[in-house]
A and B are shown apart, each in its own frame.
Chain A
Amino acid sequence: MRKFKEKLSERIFFALALSSISVLALITLFIFIKGVPLIAEVGAFKFIFGMSWAPGRGEFGIFPMIIGSVSVTLGAAVLGIPVGICCSIFMAEFAPVWMRNIFRPAIQLLAGIPSVVYGFWGLLFVVPAIRNYLGGPGLSILAGSVILAIMILPTIISISEVSLLALPRHYKEGALALGMTHWQTIRSVQLPAAKSGIVAAVILGIGRAIGETMAVIMVLGNSVAVPQSVLDPVRTLTTNIGIEMGYASGGHQQALFATGIVLFVIIMALNVSAQYITRRKIK
């Protein structure tokens, strides 16, 4: 009887674990089944590098959206990564205990704010600020980058901080005992040693930025064109799906799934490289 119970519970856990993985597999399969025929029909090259997106005329080129996603994400990375890494260094090395105890939950809270709230805030404050002080429509790459930079901070800060705190104590003590200053120790021993963790943090942050939809839909302007400056509106791969899915059908709907495939491949590549980098042993 006892043995039976043991076996039964094992099976139940296995079934539940399997179901979550199979959901992932089914979604992936579904996206590919829906999207691949269109890519095959249009041609992968024309689909990815086509400049014209006009579903009514059967033109499906997502290059402007790829540029949109890349530029907004790049902007978020440029703004968010330095701030995030510096913040994690401060938290791990300089902050007194009481301050750390306030900062850490506050940063986790930042991750808990729904993205639509970020978008709304961006629309009401960031967009008008850009319009008034820098010109252009305000709805722009810059607005999206600012919002995304804030949204990826928690990811970058917490993972970098953990990788700094996980370093063997003797790295720091050994360097300090050699008469290094605290900052020299951080720069030439601790940061290089925590490099893999910090790089993983950055990649995961970038992955989050590329995948974000709701917040950027509200501040990007969403016009399908290759932008000329950071003050121009753009449309990203995610917002393209988000905006048009409501009324798309037939080939148009397939094209949106095909957009999803491209997004899927990009994010998959980022996550796999993050995993690969974290697992690599420190030499």
Chain B
Amino acid sequence: MTTSSDKIAIKDFNFYFNEKQVIHNLNLGIPPNKIFAVIGPANSGITTLLRSLNRLCDLSHEARQEGEILLDGRNIRAPDVSVTELRRRVGIVFDVPTPLPMSIFDNVAYGPRLNRKTRGKNKSALSGIAEEALRQAALWDEVKDRLNAPAMSLSGGQQQRLCLARVLALKPEVILLDRPCSGLDPISTAKIEDSLIELKNRFTIVISPHNIQQAGRVSDRIAFMLMGRLIEEGANADVFSNPKDQRTSDYITGRFG
């Protein structure tokens, strides 16, 4: 299921919380410069999978995993891999907006400011990075006059785009999005989807869409997971028009989930 051209290759991956297994023997290849959607009902292990890709699951003491995840052919759990470096290369946007308790500008500049590559750059360089990231996230026009306002003063949709901008400012290679539009109105959702489609040439995007329609709109490839198992994976059109598995067909036609 994985090939050498994949940006991320997941091999024989098992994940446990204490005794409970939440991902079963997963093999999955994620190609570069595409939007890859992972769909499935709640409790399918999708959030766990996404958070494994940048090792945020390490924060949980109960978590245990087997198998390997390769980023550009290198195991992300290898002892010489720096976890902070990995998280800069693989950014994540969560299912609820998670702005940090600081100004709009600082939220975006926070990452680059502490990053080794951009540390020591002056204020104007930092402003340039922040502006570019905010433009990419389709937020610049709405916040350019109040960059010093607290991030919490933005609306939910704006906060979520700010979180996307914050990730983009780090110039990552992979962007993970865990149901990024779950609390958002259709207009904000459309703005985020447009940004993603525009960004995919430069990044590898893995998204857990908040509904099947979104998967259909934005993704190039789709993987369907159920109860921690991969049921089916393929090109967008194939999975939608010609699902190989009955369960996939039932899920995308809304018979359960």
Task: State A192–B115 Cα separation when bound (angstroms).
Answer: 20
A43 adjacent to chain B (CB < 8 Å): no
Contact B87 A179 (CB under 8 A): yes
Docked-complex contact A170 and B152, CB < 8 angstroms: no
CA distance A97 to B54 in the complex (A): 24
* B98 surroundings in chain A (CB, below 8 A): 168, 170-171, 173-174
A249 interfacial contact with B, CB 8 Å: no
Known: A173-B94, A192-B101. A179 touches B111 (CB 8 A): yes
- A108-B247 Cα distance, complex, nearest whole Å: 56
Q: How far is the CA of A70 from the CA of B57 in the complex (A)?
A: 49
Selected interface stretch from B138-146, B163-171, B196-204:
B163-171
Looking at the assembled complex, report how far the CB atom of B231 sits from the nearest CB atom of chain A, in whole angstroms.
28
Kindly state whether residue A36 has any CB partner on chain B within 8 Å: no
Residue of B59, B96, B115 near A179 (CB, 8 A) is: B115
A179 with B88, Cβ < 8 A, contacts A97-B61, A173-B56 known: yes
How near does chain A come to B195, taking the closest CB pair, in angstroms? 18
Instruction: Report the separation of the CA atoms of residues A97 and B62 in the bound assembly, to the nearest whole angstrom.
Output: 12
Query: Taking CB as reference atom, which chain B residue is nearest A182?
Result: B84
* Cα separation A171 to B166 with both chains bound (whole Å): 13
The listed residue with most A CB atoms (<10 A of its CB), out of B85, B101, B110, B152, is B101
Q: Does A177 contact B (CB under 8 A)?
A: yes
| B-side contacts of A184, CB under 8 Å | 114
| Contact B150–A171 (Cβ < 8 Å) | no
**Alpha-carbon distance A172/B111, docked complex (angstroms):** 13
Interface string of B69-95 (1 = CB under 8 A from A): 000000000000000111110011010
Residue among A171, A173, A178 making CB contact with B170, cutoff 8 Å = A178
The interface residues of chain A lying within 8 Å CB-to-CB of B54 are 177
Inside 8 A of B87's CB, which chain A residues have their CB? 176-179
CB neighbours (8 Å) of A192 from chain B are 101-102
Taking CB atoms, residues of chain A closer than 8 Å to B88 are 178-179
- Is A26's beta carbon under 8 Å from chain B? no
A33 interfacial by beta-carbon distance below 8 Å = no
Q: Contacts A181-B84, A283-B150 hold; do A174 and B100 have CB atoms under 8 A apart?
A: yes
Within 8 A of A (CB), among B91-143: 91-92, 94, 96, 98-102, 110-111, 114-115
In contact, A174 and B114 (Cβ under 8 angstroms)? no
- How many Å lie between the Cα of A66 and that of B138 in the bound state? 60
Task: Give residues of chain A (119-133) contacting chain B, Cβ–Cβ below 8 Å.
Answer: none
Q: In the assembly, what is the distance between CA of A184 and CA of B116, in Å?
A: 13
Residues of A within 8 A of B94 (CB): 170, 173-174, 177
Tell me whether B84 and A179 are in contact (CB under 8 A): yes
Which residues does chain B contribute within 8 Å of A180, judged by CB atoms? Answer: 84, 111, 114
Asked if A175 lies at the interface with its beta carbon under 8 angstroms from chain B, I say yes
Say whether A283 contacts B111, CB under 8 Å. no
Known: A171-B100, A178-B87. 16 other contacts (CB 8 A): A170-B96, A170-B98, A171-B101, A172-B59, A173-B56, A173-B94, A174-B99, A174-B100, A175-B110, A179-B86, A179-B111, A179-B114, A188-B114, A189-B100, A192-B102, A283-B101
Binding site for A on B (CB under 8 A): 54, 56, 59, 61, 84-88, 91-92, 94, 96, 98-102, 110-111, 114-115, 150, 152, 163, 166-167, 170
